Structure formats: C-alpha cells, structure tokens
Structure 1
Amino acid sequence: MADVKDKLLAVAYRVLESEGPAALTTRRVCEEAGVTMPTLYHHFGSRDGLVAAVHAVALEKFMAKKRALTPTDDPVADLRTGCEHVLEFVQAHPSVTAALMARGIEQPSIFEPSYALMRHRLERCARAGALRVPIERAAEHVWAVVQGLALSIVASPSGAPPSRATSAGALDAVFQAIADQL
C-alpha cells in the first residue's frame, strides 16, 4: 500500500513541478499512476489531502537541502549561503515554489521550520557579535528580502526573473543593514 501512496505522491509532485498547480488534478494523477480514483481517495481523502501531501514533500525537499549545509566558522557567511540556497531552489522549482507560497498565504505555519532555521542562524550571528540589530529585526529583514526575491522569481511582471546581480545586490543590502562581516 505504501508503494501506491508513494507513486501517487511522485506523480503529483512531477505534475506540479513540470506544469504547475492548475495541472494537478486527481484525474491526471490517477491516470498517470495507473490507479483508480477510490485508491487516491483512500490514501489522501480528497484532492486537498493530496495537494497538502505534495506540499509537504516539496517542503521536505527544500528543508533537507537547507539542513544539509555544514556550519563554518563564519555564521554570517552561513546565513548568506542559506539565503542563496533558498533562491537556488526557487529558480530550479518555480512552479513548486509558487504553489508553496500560495499555500503559505493561507497557512503561514508551513514556513515555521524554515523560519526557525533562519532564526537559528541569526542567533549564531548574534552569539558571534556580528549583528548590528536585534535578532527579531534581523529576522524580519532577511525573511522579507528573501521572500520578496522568491516572489519576483516566480511572478515577475516583466516575465523574467531578477538577474543574479539583482538578487546578490538585494542580499548585499540586507546583510549590510543587519550584520558586520566576521
């Protein structure tokens, strides 16, 4: 049974990633997985259950990469690397990111693990004496800039995501505002 559920999730994730949330229908997932609708509903209860499970898979893929970063002796550089990894994920998975951002508007708690990891990295910066502002303010600044850049990658009015130089410049600005380089 777990194999069928895993297959449904894999198909749903692939559809979401390649074609976006509008293409993620229960009919499409069942056809591509080679199962019937009752099988999908048995495992997920509804389309919303399937979508929530796919979002959980996407968040876990995202968080696994963030957690895999090995801390160095420079907590500011580690924080910056974490921010850059977020933007790399967004660039590589724009449809998944757009779906996660939309869900995050409805259910902000899905971002708590990511926020907690960012905050942990900021606390390391504070312990090293590298923050110019209180942790809460630094967290607000970093979160806002990275989320803004992510949104501009997936939903730019010009149709083109910001250049690497633009993203780097925005990160430079926030890091100059919150931290002293070690």
Structure 2
Amino acid sequence: MESDRSASAENNRVRIVAAAARLLADGGREAVSTRAVSSAAGVQAPTIYRLFGDKQGLLDAVAADGFERHLSRKADLAPTDDPVEDLRVGWDLNVQFGLDNPALYTLMYADPRPGAESSAALAAREVLGAHIHRIAEAGRLRIDEPRAAQLVHAAGGGTTLALISAPEERRDLTVSHLAREAVIAAITTDAPSAHAPGPAGAAVALRALLPGSAALTPGESALLAELLDRIAGAG
C-alpha cells in the first residue's frame, strides 16, 4: 500500500513538472500559475503544494529537471587531453542551451536568491568547478580555482542572458566567442605550471594535485593547502 502511494506521488510529480515546463516554455514564468499547472497536469492544487511546498519549489524542480536533461545530453562528450579546449566546448554548449531554452535559463540565472541557489544552479557550478579543477591539475590555471570558476560563471551567464534578451535577428554569437576567449586568457596560461609566470601558477597547480598525495598527515595537508591558497590569492 505504501509503495502504491509512493508510486502515485512520483507519477504526479513527473506530470506536474512536465506540465509546468511546457507552460514555462510557452509563456514564461508568469504562465506557471498553480491553477494553470493543476489544470494542465490533471491534478488538484493541494497536490502541488504537498509535493513542492510552494510555487518557488515547483519552479526549482522545473529548473533542476531541465538542467539534468541538459547534462544527460552532454554526457556523451568525454573529456579530452586539453581541459582548456573542453572549457571552450562547455561554454558554447551552455550558451546554446540558454538560447534553446530562454525561459528555463532565465529562471535558473536571472533571479538570484543569495544563499538559496536552486539545485540546478548548484549542479551547474559543480560541473564548472570540475572543468576548472582539470585545468588546475594540468598546471594551466593562472588564478585560484574559486575565482576562476566565479569569473567563468559570471561572464558566461551574463553573455547568455544578454544574447537571450536581444532580438533573434540581431544576436551576434561572435560576442560570446570574444567573451569566452577573454575569460580564458584571464584565467589560463599557455604552458604548464613549470613555465607559468610567478609562484601563483605553481601554487594553484600544486593545490589542485594535493588531495592525491599521501605523503603528509591530514594536519600537514590542511596547513599546506592554506599556505598555497594564500600564495595563489596573492598572485
């Protein structure tokens, strides 16, 4: 009996998210009202509140579902030996995702709630962080990982939102390419860390590789990580 209720709740959840996603794509955020969603999904309004808490909870679920589908399409792209080129590919894919799903992308990124990021936005940050970490491991990151990820996130999101807001006939994708290359130039070096200018590049690379070393005690690793972060930040 309990399993039947769980299955029914999951079925309702899937139908509600799908209905809300269709309404969002067709009419924007304003079209996703409780009445419209309950009618489109064939459920009563209390079911929506029971499963999602409120409208914001439903919108977060729609954003998370859309981003998960986006990630599943990217799963076929295996990492190459060039993490910087992989970052380029990731940038272009995310810009295209925004242009193909403007209402969903705007929902994810154009309504920031400090300290309350949606699960979709958090997942996007994790994917970006993994890209940046691979660049650091390769010894090609010029600045520390958190700042590099924040810069790529801000520039990529801002560029995509600007393109979304422009009339389709006036969209110039070379703007995205220029922004992408400017950001890559700002955060990466052309050579591995052995040839990177100054100690900051070496500190960033060593910091990225530190978790793979078993030569230090946990306390020593924590201390070295703190010192490396300080050197990278100063650079």
Shorter-normalised TM range: 0.7 to 0.9
C-alpha distance in 2 between matches for 1:46 and 1:115: 25
2:184 to 167, 175, 181: 175
2:17–2:62 Cα contact (<8 Å) kept: yes
Extract unaligned runs of 5+ from structure 1: none
The Cα shift of 1:181 comes to 4.9
C-alpha distance in 1 between matches for 2:39 and 2:65: 21
Q: Which has the higher contact order (CA 8 A, sep 6+)?
A: 1
Which residue of structure 2 lines up, in the alignment, with residue 50 of structure 1? 58
1:152–1:162 Cα contact (<8 Å) kept: no
1:4 to 12, 17, 20: 12
C-alpha distance in 1 between matches for 2:80 and 2:40: 44
Would the alpha carbon gap of residues 133 and 62 (structure 1) be closer, same or farther in structure 2, given more than 3 Å must change? same
1:130 to 125, 140, 149: 140
Aligned length, in residue pairs: 180
**Can you list the C-alpha shifts for 1:63-119, whole angstroms capped at 9, x where unaligned?**
434555310111111111111111111010001111112443352364232222212
Q: How large is the Cα RMSD of the aligned pairs?
A: 2.3
Would the alpha carbon gap of residues 34 and 119 (structure 1) be closer, same or farther in structure 2, given more than 3 Å must change? closer
The Cα shift of 1:146 comes to 0.4
> Could you list the runs of 4 or more consecutive aligned residues of structure 1 that deviate by over 6 angstroms after TM superposition?
none
Q: Which has the larger radius of gyration?
A: 2
Question: Percent sequence identity over matched residues?
Answer: 32
Which AA in structure 2 matches 1:75?
A: P
The Cα shift of 1:35 comes to 2.4
Which residue of structure 2 lines up, in the alignment, with residue 163 of structure 1? 172
Could you state the TM-score of these two structures normalised by the residue count of structure 1? Answer: 0.84
2:24–2:32 Cα contact (<8 Å) kept: yes
Could you state the TM-score of these two structures normalised by the residue count of structure 2? Answer: 0.67
